[in-house]
A and B are shown apart, each in its own frame.
Chain A
Amino acid sequence: MAHDNSYTGQKFEVVGNRFLRPDGIDKVTGKARYGADANAPGQLVGLVLRSPHAHAKIKKIDTSKAEKLPGVKAVITSDDLPDLTGGNAGNAHILENCMARGRALYDGHAVAAVAAVDRQTARQALKLIKVSYQKLPHVTDVDEAMAPDAPVIHDWCFTAGLEEKPTKPSNIANRTQMGHGDVDAGFAAADVIIEKSYKTEQTHQGYIEPHACLASVNPDGTSELWVTTQGPFSYRSVCAALLGLDIAKLKVTSSEIGGGFGGKTHVWTEPLALALSRKANRPVKLVMTRDEVFRATGPTASTSVDVKIGATRKGKITAATLELRYQGGAFPGPWAMLACMTGFACYNIENQRSVGWDVIVNRPKVAAYRAPSAPMAAYAVESTMDLVADAIGMDAVDFRLKNVAKEGTQAPYGPIYGPIGIEAALKAVKKHPHMKSRLKKGQGRGVACGFWFNIGGQTCVDLNIGTDGTVNLAVGTVDVGGARSSLAMIAAEELGVGYDDVKVHVADTSSLGHNDTTEGSRGTFSSGMAAIFAARDAIEVLKGRAAKMLDVPVEDIVWEHGEARATGKGHGNLPKLSLKEIAAKSPNTGGPIAGHNEVVADGAGMGFAAHICDLEVDQETGHTEILRYTVVQDAGKAINPDYVEGQFQGAAAQGIGWALNEEYIYGKDGRLQNPGFLDYRIPVCSDLPFIDTKILEIPNPTHPYGIRGVGETSIVPPLGAIGNAIANATGVRMNHVPMSPVRVLDALDQAAQYEEQVSAG
């Protein structure tokens, strides 16, 4: 049945309340089963051997001694993973990333794997594998990788997107350009032009649960994969393609997921676990160590960005350009393109151009990280916005408001915005008590904006009503932040039953049609839409059954507040029938009652946020303390405000860590020097204040409940907000993230030296 996805402004009874999460009890009692918590009869322990070199030719791998060790059941190298990708470059890169093929491309790149009866034996076996490497020149910095004399990592890489195809390979995979208007004319009309360059270092999603899976391949080709993933259906299709398995015969079950943030949207060791299981003919459990997670799973891009913004003295931006250099690790990625699309998205800029360069370096293959690519571009833009406002003597928030994007503004990537929330967010910031609170000497306040698209995509749900009137909703989006609660609320709202009457579960790939990966803040938007439509289908069935029970034509039945009622002449005395009453009679009125929906959920609503940050910089140590933090973001409609706030707070905390501390540190040898939580320091409880939130609800016109995605947007503003606050606290503009104590101290020292020179000279 075709359904209309338009927003109708219906009044809600269930939606908007703060219900307790249904997975809460399992998670507070230790019963919840994550990736590493499944076991199978006869299971083996899998471990992976990784390259210690940033770039090296693999001359020989001798596995004979490991194979002979008692208890070792399988050893694999790339020889056990023949290339079946048939010209699909994306899959070929994934295959090579899962296991090196003749060349190790980064420190941590897998070169072999073993399966043995226990952990001790598997560890011993890894030590017995002898790999002969020939070291090759490497490059890990994005700017150095673009230099003409940089070692070229792939001889097949000719820059795409140039007018003329280059004659020589390089590390630049792709050039993207977008924008509109006449940039030169725009700058000519400007009274003030600020041009500045910024760098951001590489960060990791830092989910607390390492990647873990349990793989089992049978001799007849039927296979099962239990895995911590955001995308069981995508894992199924990619693993099947890489290993030559039948898609529908591979059942992927997503475990409870211990954080993903984009990092569990791609396969890493799962194909290796399946290959080991196939070779050993036994189930294989493979759990990554934290060291492996840092060295060999997708961090975000490190970047180098140039911004130029011109404005009139009255505060109107006349032109703006961005040049974005993003490294995607050892393989090409879409990362600079995404940066081009998002950099100026918060503003109405008539003349703008963004140019992106996707660059290959000897680092792990970059994966999505919460609003991927947007925070770094926003850092550069938001820092420069403050500089322009300062140069023309205008309040930084007023300057943003004067140029803010609205309904009708053209996005950097082309489309015209519908109703969006950035103007409302900035106005809410202006009015917020936080902005009126006094700062002490040495403290500073910063404001910044952020944008993320949000997506929809392929979605499929099943809704089954039991004879007692309780409801099972099977969904294919993974619950990464409270989705089971919000989806139960949506189904309850539609059917007119209680929240506790609906049980949502995340189905495996054999039980439901394809669902796109839970990414792009699509879970509640798309599965919520499908749940509404499935419930409406079920209501049609319920109406039919009620008509039978009351012996009236189905056209005379209406559904109101969870009840069927007969309307029309002569039906006035007929009783209303509740969902429970109809369900109880279902065995005799036509059997089980169900609704189903499959949909490509179009019309995801864009997400906008504005943040306020107060901080203090210790002039002696360079340490920055966050004193107060406020997030304002448009949710479209907050289904369960508790979990919307949770997304805002968690995203802001990740952004704060990124801004102040987190970075991949590579040595001259190209090896990662801090692959652990001690030296890669994410924020701890004592680093942060309470994070205030304000939820705005500007309905998305293309969702029945007005929902926009909420998960990602708020990781975008913190880098800029903190940079701006540090500038306001110290007078020093930081142009390198993280703004760690050592970088802040350096910047303070340089500023002091400059002042001395000025006063002396």
Chain B
Amino acid sequence: MSDAVLVSTKVNGDVVEFACPTDEVLMDSLRDRAGMNGVKEGCGTGDCGACSVTLDGQLVCSCLVLGVEANGREIGTVEGLTEDGKLHPLQEKFIEHAALQCGICTPGFLVAAKALLDNNANPTETEIRYALAGNLCRCTGYDKIVRAVQATAKDLRKSKKR
């Protein structure tokens, strides 16, 4: 570990500091050094989206980002979706709509779906399907995932109108 670099970053709002080997990807840093095991490894090549996080608000595959690149930046993971002990509406709707089976892809889908809804409050079915096309799920056939995102978007729009 002679090539390690000190990284200071914010994960879900909390300051996290760790020594990071220069060839370590952010996914491993988050899992092994920051304790964010909700970040999942499905492929390590940016094809499955299970390790999706936000980096300064931008949706990324954390397996394609180096840990040292997180220095001075803000990371959002699935662990940060819950606020004050309350599930995010997407988390609630995923459970309600049975949008998860094995659940390994779920953290990535939630982070990606939140990134979509943050930018587009009223996505069409096609927009949802393309926004989530970087996240692989092998259990559900995506049917109930799309329905959960649609239902969340509808609820969020209603609550904003009030």
**A and B associate in one complex:** yes
Residue in B78, B133, B134 whose beta carbon sits within 8 Å of that of A30 in the complex: B78
Instruction: Give the contact-size bracket for chain A.
Output: 35 or more
Of A172-180, A203-211, A701-709, the one contacting chain B is A203-211
Q: Which residue of A lies closest to B50 (CB)?
A: A208
Report if A25 contacts B (CB, 8 A): yes
- State whether B43 touches A209 (Cβ < 8 A): no
B129 and A257 contacting across the interface, CB-CB below 8 Å: no
Task: With A30-B107, A650-B140 given, name 16 new contacts (CB 8 A).
Answer: A28-B94, A33-B37, A120-B1, A209-B104, A256-B104, A258-B104, A642-B144, A645-B98, A645-B143, A646-B139, A650-B138, A653-B141, A677-B48, A685-B142, A686-B130, A687-B133
**Minimum distance in angstroms from B47 CB to a CB of chain A:** 4
B36 at the interface (CB under 8 A from A): yes
Question: In the assembled complex, how far is the CB of residue B75 from the closest CB belonging to chain A, in whole angstroms?
Answer: 13
Judge whether B136 and A209 touch: CB under 8 Å: no
Q: Confirm or deny: A23 has a beta carbon within 8 angstroms of a beta carbon on chain B.
A: yes
A36 to B48, CA, bound (A): 17
A30 touches B138 (CB 8 A): no
> Which 5 residue pairs are nearest across A and B when measured between Cβ atoms?
A30-B38, A258-B104, A653-B141, A27-B103, A677-B47
CA distance A205 to B102 in the complex (A): 14
Q: A36-B41, A646-B139 are in contact. Are A30 and B79 (CB under 8 A)?
A: yes
Chain A CB within 8 A of B96 CB: yes
Minimum distance in angstroms from A711 CB to a CB of chain B: 10
Residues of B within 8 A of A25 (CB): 87, 91, 95
Residue in B37, B81, B139 whose CB lies within 8 Å of A650 = B139
A290 to B142, CA, bound (A): 22
23 cross-chain CB contacts under 8 A: A20-B96, A21-B100, A26-B103, A28-B81, A28-B95, A29-B81, A30-B38, A34-B104, A209-B40, A209-B42, A258-B102, A258-B105, A642-B98, A646-B98, A649-B144, A676-B45, A677-B45, A677-B47, A678-B45, A685-B145, A686-B129, A688-B129, A688-B142
Q: List residues of chain B with CB within 8 A of the CB of A26.
A: 103
Task: Identify A32's interface contact among B96, B103, B130, B133, CB under 8 A.
Answer: B103
Other-chain contact of A676, B40, B47, B78 (Cβ < 8 Å):
B47
CB of A289 closer than 8 Å to a CB of B: yes
- Kindly state the separation between the CA atoms of A359 and B31 in the bound complex, as whole angstroms: 43
Using Cβ atoms and an 8 Å threshold, which residues of chain B touch A205?
138
- Proximity bits, A86-130, B CB within 8 Å = 1, else 0: 000000000000000000000000000000001110000000000
Complex: how many Å from CA A332 to CA B73? 54
Please name the residue on chain B nearest to A641 by beta carbon: B98
- If A20-B95, A208-B136, A686-B130 touch, does A31 touch B102 (CB 8 Å cutoff)? no
Q: 0/1 per residue, B66-92, Cβ < 8 Å to A?
A: 000000000001110110000100010
B23 within 8 A of A: yes
> Is A646 within 8 A of B101, CB to CB?
yes
Determine whether B21 belongs to the interface, using a CB cutoff of 8 Å to chain A: yes
Counting chain A CB atoms within 10 Å of each CB, the highest count among B102, B133, B136, B144 belongs to: B102
> Is there a chain B Cβ closer than 8 Å to A259's Cβ?
yes
The answer for the CA separation of A37 and B39 in the assembled complex, in Å, is 10
A28 and B100 within 8 A (CB): yes
Is A30 within 8 A of B132, CB to CB? no
Interface residues of B in 24-54 (CB under 8 A from A): 24, 28, 31, 36-45, 47-48, 50
Give the residue of B21, B41, B102 whose beta carbon is less than 8 angstroms from that of A287.
B41
Contact present for B41 and A256 (CB under 8 Å):
no
Nearest Cβ in chain A — how far from B113, in angstroms?
11
Please indicate the chain A residues that have their CB under 8 angstroms from the CB of B39 in the complex.
30
In this assembly, does B106 line the interface, its C-beta being within 8 Å of a C-beta of chain A?
yes
Across the interface, A256 reaches (CB within 8 A) one of B98, B102, B132, B146, namely B102
- B102 with A259: CB separation less than 8 A: yes
Task: State the CA gap A289–B104 with chains docked (Å).
Answer: 15
Q: Report A-chain residues with C-beta under 8 Å of the C-beta of B50.
A: 208
Cβ-defined contact, A691 with B143, below 8 A:
yes
Interface residues in B48-62 (C-beta closer than 8 Å to A): 48, 50
Task: Show the binding face of B for A, using Cβ within 8 Å.
Answer: 1, 21, 23-24, 28, 31, 36-45, 47-48, 50, 77-79, 81-82, 87, 91, 94-96, 98, 100-107, 110, 126, 128-130, 132-147
Instruction: Note all chain A residues with C-beta closer than 8 A to B101.
Output: 259, 480-482, 643, 646, 650
Q: Which applies to chain A's interface (DSSP): helix, strand, loop or mixed?
A: loop
Residues of chain A lying within 8 A (CB to CB) of residue B38: 29-31
Q: Could you tell me if A206 and B143 are in contact, using CB atoms closer than 8 angstroms?
A: no
What is the CB-to-nearest-CB distance from B144 to chain A, in angstroms, rounded to a whole number? Answer: 7
Which residues does chain A contribute within 8 Å of B147, judged by CB atoms? Answer: 690
User: Is the CB–CB distance between A28 and B110 below 8 Å?
Assistant: yes
Contacts of A634-681 to chain B: CB distance below 8 A? 642-643, 645-646, 649-650, 652-654, 676-678
Distance from A21 Cβ to chain B, minimum over Cβ atoms (Å): 7
Q: In whole Å, how far is B27's beta carbon from the nearest beta carbon of chain A?
A: 11
Residues of A within 8 A of B87 (CB): 25, 28-29
Chain A minimum-CB-distance residue to B131 = A685
Q: Which chain A positions have C-beta within 8 A of B1?
A: 118, 120
CA distance A682 to B103 in the complex (A): 17
**Considering the chains assembled together, what is the distance between the CA atoms of A207 and B39 in angstroms?**
16
A24 at interface (Cβ–Cβ under 8 A)?
A: yes
A326: Cβ under 8 A from any B Cβ: no
Residues from chain A with Cβ under 8 Å of B40 in the complex: 34, 208-209, 258
Report the bound CA distance from A683 to B129 in whole Å. 12
Cα(A646)–Cα(B100), bound, Å: 9
CA–CA, A653 and B139, complex, Å: 8
- Shortest beta-carbon distance from A261 to chain B in Å: 7
- Contact A208 B130, beta carbon cutoff 8 Å: no
- What are the residues of chain B within 8 A of A646 when measuring CB–CB? 98, 101, 139-140, 144
User: How far apart are the CA atoms of A480 and B138 in the complex, in Å?
Assistant: 12
Instruction: Give, as a whole number of angstroms, the nearest-CB distance from B7 to chain A.
Output: 16
Contacts of A289 on B, CB cut-off 8 Å?
44
Nearest residue, chain B, Cβ from A212: B41
Nearest Cβ in chain B — how far from A67, in angstroms? 20
Nearest-neighbour CB distance to chain B for A689, whole angstroms, equals 9
With CB as the reference atom, state the residue of chain B lying closest to A258: B104
